[in-house]
Structures are given as structure tokens and as C-alpha cells.
Amino acid sequence: MAQATNGKMTKLLNTPLKVFTLYALVVLAGSIPAYYYIVNRIWLSEIDMHNKFVKRKIEKELNTIAINDTILAQNIRLWSHIEPGINLQPVAESTRKNDSRYTVMKSTVLHSKRLNRFRGLSSYLTINGKWYHLTVETNVEETDEVISNIAFVTIGFFILLVIGFIGLNQRISAKLWQPFYNTLNQIKTFDLSSRVPIAFEKTNIVEFEELNNSLQKLIDKNRATYQEQKEFTENASHELQTPLAIIQSKLDLLLQSKSLTANESEIIEAAHKALARTSRINKNLLLLSKIENQQFVDTEMMNVSQLVTDSLAFLAEHSETRNIVIEMRVEEYVYMEGNRILLEILINNLLMNAVRHNKDNGLIRVDFSKQGFIVANTGISNALNEASLFKRFSSSSSQTPGSGLGLAIVKQICSRYHWQIGYSFDNGFHTFSTSF
């Protein structure tokens, strides 16, 4: 089965993390101009108040001192020189306007090249009954400096948020989603054909509990169906045995008839053959369902090398009649634990196939060791369809009427003992390798 792990797959918890991070980024980025706007406004209004205060102070102080106009003009000039931010000019009353505030960029004396931002107040006041135009300009922090400071702090907070998200996410993943991952692992390891029922851990989260319950129901139902199907095969095969036995016995009796002609005898023989094949299929179906139903529970430690040698010895007479050469390399005294009958069937089926599907004057190579059992044989000159090879009734060779179940049984036995069975075709050899 193809694992669904392409590049676009992400873990469940990483998806909200990404979205949250993106959202935080947008919000924080949006907050920078907002902060700037607010800070700037507070700042300007503070400076405006300050400027107003300066104006009031000047007006009050100059009116209380009560000096004459010449000295006042001299002082104003001196003052303008020392404090360029404050400018006081005598004006005609007619030019008087309402107070106004403004922002201006200009260079200070000290930093002549750099432009600084100033907030100014333009106002009119009377000193000693004469009208003066007063401008007070106070240096304000530059816009880019304000923005960069705010941005700097904001980025700092953003980083803190992301670290927090990742940390929290991991904790959530470890705790909150644990039941989900438990369930997932249970399902991953679940095998319908295994007899072990699945049991989900209890969880106090409603959704997970619901998920578990639904899965439990689904699985139980499937198991029941599967069980029924298996039992059906077994029962059906059983039920067929008796009628088959009757037919067989009747044919045997018929063969005893004194008046039998050669022709009739051939008919009986043909029927016998077909019947033998039917009972063979039936027996093998029964065997398959028995293996699936785990009915071969007895295990023993046995010399498997001996089983292989015995089977080869038995096959020798069959291979010899067709002039098939068997090259064998059997490691001696390989002991394995398993069910004797199943192991015999596995070995016999593989070796028997190598003889049956071989060509006359062919070759069989048998390699048995602790690692595995490899049977290679010559035969038809093209590769068999591996995908269907181990399926029931998918005999890819029609001229040899086997039961069509031999390899399915081999596969079933292998999976029972968690062995790997594979097929390959190379250099004219069909190779079946079992690795223990």
C-alpha cells in the first residue's frame, strides 16, 4: 500500500500553528502604524501644550517686568539668537490671526545637514499694549525613528509569540492529542485476520471517545463479517466432503463391474481424475481457511533441513521421469519452531511447483539455509504475474490443472510466521524465495 506522504502533507497541529503565526504577524504588523499614530498624537499634543505654556509664560513674564520697548527689542533679538526655537516679532494689530499649530522640517544649527522635525505654535500676544507675533518651535522625535523603535519592539514581541506558540503546541500535541495518536497507532497495527480484538484506551475527551466508539463498532462489524465468511468457507468445504466421498465410492464400485468395456472404464477414469481435482481444491480450501482460522496451533522445534531433504527425495522420482536435474544446497541441522504440518506443506508446495511447472530436461536449484528457502526452476520463458501469483485460483499456467491454491497456501503460511515470500524471474529461472 502506498504511504500517503507527499511533500504537501503536514501534521495536524502544524496547520493551526502556521495560521496563528501568520495571524499574529498580520496583527502585529498592523499595530506598528497604529502605535505610531497614537504615540505621535500624544507626543504632538503634549508639545502643543508645552508650546502654549511657553507662550503664556512669555506673555506673563514680559508684561510683569514692565521694560521699555527699546530694551525689549534688544532682549528679543538676543533671545532669538540664543533660542532659535522662539521667535517674537512686533506686528500690526490688523495682521493678527487666530492661533495655529504646524509641523515643520528644518535643520538645527548643530546638525545643519540633517533635517529635524519641529512642532510649532504660531500665536499673537500683546506686550505693553503692542501686538507681537510669537512662534514657538519644539523639536519632535523624527517619524522614522519612532516607527523603527516601535517596529523593533513589535518584532521582539512577535518572536516571543512564535516561541510561545511552538512551545504550547508541543505541549498540546503531547497531552491533548495523545488519545488521538493512541487510536491511530491501534488502527495502524490492526489486522483483520488476526484474532486479537482491538481495544481503544478510554479518554475523557468527548470527540475522541466518540471516534473510538465509532471505530470500535465499525471494526467489530467487519470482524464479524470476516469471521462469518471464513466459517462459511470451512463449513462449505466440510459439507462437500461427504457427497464427494459418495461419488468416489460409487465410481470405485462401478469400476468393479464385470461387464465394463474399455471405453466405459476410460470414462470412469476421467471422472475419477476430475473428482480427484475437485476434492483437492476442496481440501486446499479447507486447509486455507484452517490456517486463517489459526487451527494449527501446535508448534515444535524440528529439523527443517530434514523436511527439505525428505521432500526432495520424494520428488526425485517425479523429476527423474522428466529428466529434470535438481541442484541442491541444503544447510544441515537447521532447527526451527513451527507447526510441522504447515512447514511440510510450505516446502512441498514450493518444491512440487518447481517440478510441475518445469519443462522436460529442466533444472531446479534449491537453496536452504537459516536465512531462507530459495527454489528456482526453469519453465515457461516469460515472467509470471507477481501481483496475482499468490492469490487464490489465479494459476497462471492453464495446462497444468493444479488446485490453484498452492501458492495462496504458501503465502498464508508465510504470513502466519511473518516470513517474506517473493517471486522473481531472471535468466530463464522462476525464483521463489522465502526469508525467515
Which of 1, 4, 110, 262: binder of another protein (CB under 8 A)?
A: 262
Which of 401, 420, 424, 435 binds another protein (CB under 8 A)? It is 401
- Least distance from another protein to the Cβ atom of residue 376, Å: 19
Instruction: Give the one residue of 273, 294, 329, 435 binding another protein; rule: CB under 8 A.
Output: 273
Residue 283 vs 365, nearer CB to another protein: 283
Region from 29-37, 137-145, 272-280, 324-332 binding another protein, contact rule CB under 8 A: 272-280
Q: Is 380 in the site for another protein (CB under 8 A)?
A: no
If binding is defined by CB under 8 A, does position 294 make contact with another protein? no
Contact 75, 132 (CB under 8 A): no
State which residue, 88 or 345, has the beta carbon closest to another protein. 345
Residue closer to another protein, measured from CB, 33 or 401: 401
Q: Which of 139, 225, 249, 294 binds another protein (CB under 8 A)?
A: 249
* Residue whose CB is less far from another protein, 72 or 389: 389
Beta carbon nearer to another protein, 44 or 251: 251
Nearest to 362 by CA among 380, 347, 350: 380
CB 72, CB 62: distance < 8 Å: yes
Q: Given candidates 87, 182, 248, 394, which one binds another protein under the rule CB under 8 A?
A: 248
Whose Cβ is closer to another protein: residue 93's or residue 317's?
A: 317
Q: Does 283 bind another protein (CB under 8 A)?
A: yes
Residues 316-335 touching another protein, rule: CB under 8 A, are 317-318, 321
Site for another protein in 65-94 (CB under 8 A): none
Comparing CB distances to another protein, the nearer of 134 and 355 is 355
Work out how close the CB of 241 gets to another protein at its nearest, in angstroms, rounded to a whole number.
4
- Taking CB under 8 A as the binding criterion, the range among 74-82, 107-115, 280-288, 387-395 that sits at the site for another protein is 280-288
- Binding-site member from 241, 294, 361, 382 for another protein (CB under 8 A): 241
Site size for another protein (CB under 8 A): 48
What residues make contact with another protein under the rule CB under 8 A? Answer: 238, 241-242, 244-253, 255-256, 260, 262, 265-266, 268-269, 272-273, 275-276, 279-280, 283-284, 286, 290, 295-296, 298, 314, 317-318, 321, 341, 348-349, 352, 356, 400-403, 406
